[in-house]
Amino acid sequence: MLSSYFHSLPKNVRGIIWIIVSCLMFSLMGATVKSLGEQDLNSFQIVFFRLLAQLIAIFPIIHRIGMVKVFTTDRPGLHIFRSLSGVAAMSCVFYGYTQLTLVDVTTITYAKVLFITALAPFLLGEVFGWRRVSATVAGFLGVVIMLRPGGEAINWAAAIVVFGTFCMSAAHITIKKLTSTERAITILAYFSVIAFMVSIIPAWYVWQPVGALTLVKLFAMGIFGLLGQFFVIRGYRVGEASAVVPANYISLVFAFLLGFVLFDEIPDQWSILGGSIIIASTLYISWREIIKKRKVLLAMRQYRQQ
């Protein structure tokens, strides 16, 4: 009965619900990573288990489709670059979870939109107007503020998360290039295998034995991450981008609540100021992107009607 009611809802409403659930999953993943970090478990070992869980989950799909079919590609270099940038991003962000508040890490990762906007003209040949350029500059100002200006030293944990966000943006742009010729399962399979193999090296050097409870947390963290990916795909597949994109910012609410309840975290003035600027600028850039796509679709419809 609940399922039939859910499917009777408008597509955009269902899309928003899926995105909200994905945000909750990713926030729970971040909270679990932070909890593991408080047990002095190195972030490289946490990344290893996160990728191990993903590899275990995707292997039955690869086996069913066929190894040769899944891994056939003419663009191995891009797959390698996407995988390396992806595992670098995950490592940096997971390290941030162990050192910073959940809200700080969540807010900084929103800067992915800023990096994509800055890199797109060089890597994708896209040209943006002065409005989005100005919003991007303002957003990076917010990032600088979150690095704690005027303090005795830069917040290096935050700087590492910023670098991870840059790597995340590079991976996103590479995925965009790959999707023009590659199947989604091929992109995911290459990342799962290459990233896991790469993660073994640093995890080996910091490895420490884990107890049963820690092992449960590690695999729970992996499951939260996988569910987050699954739900975000469902959300964008069902709903329109203009409707579901703003729902992503509910992650801040989940990060604040989990951080406050589980870790007694309260954002300071720099986090609030810098985060507000980042959120405002990324929302504006996302809105401009949606407007641009609508104009393109309208022009295509008018052309077909002629």
In a domain, 100, yes or no: yes
In a domain, 6, yes or no: no
In terms of Cβ atoms closer than 10 Å to its own Cβ (0-12, 13-18, 19+), residue 299 is: exposed
In a domain, 5, yes or no: no
In terms of Cβ atoms closer than 10 Å to its own Cβ (0-12, 13-18, 19+), residue 149 is: exposed
One-letter amino acid identity for 160? Answer: I
pTM of the model: 0.85
Per-residue pLDDT for the chain (306 aa), expressed as one digit of tens each?
A: 666 766 677 787 888 888 899 999 999 999 999 999 998 899 999 999 999 998 998 999 899 999 899 999 988 999 999 999 999 999 999 999 999 899 999 988 988 888 887 777 766 666 666 677 787 788 778 787 777 655 545 578 888 999 999 999 998 888 888 888 888 889 989 999 999 999 999 999 999 998 889 999 998 998 998 888 888 878 877 877 666 777 788 888 899 999 999 999 988 887 888 888 888 888 777 776 667 666 656 666 665 666
| Number of domains within the chain | 1
- Tally Cβ neighbours within 10 Å of residue 205: 9
Q: d(Cα 1, Cα 20) in Å, to the nearest integer?
A: 21
In a domain, 124, yes or no: yes
In a domain, 80, yes or no: yes
In a domain, 54, yes or no: yes
In a domain, 3, yes or no: no
Domain that holds residue 154: 11-305
In a domain, 244, yes or no: yes
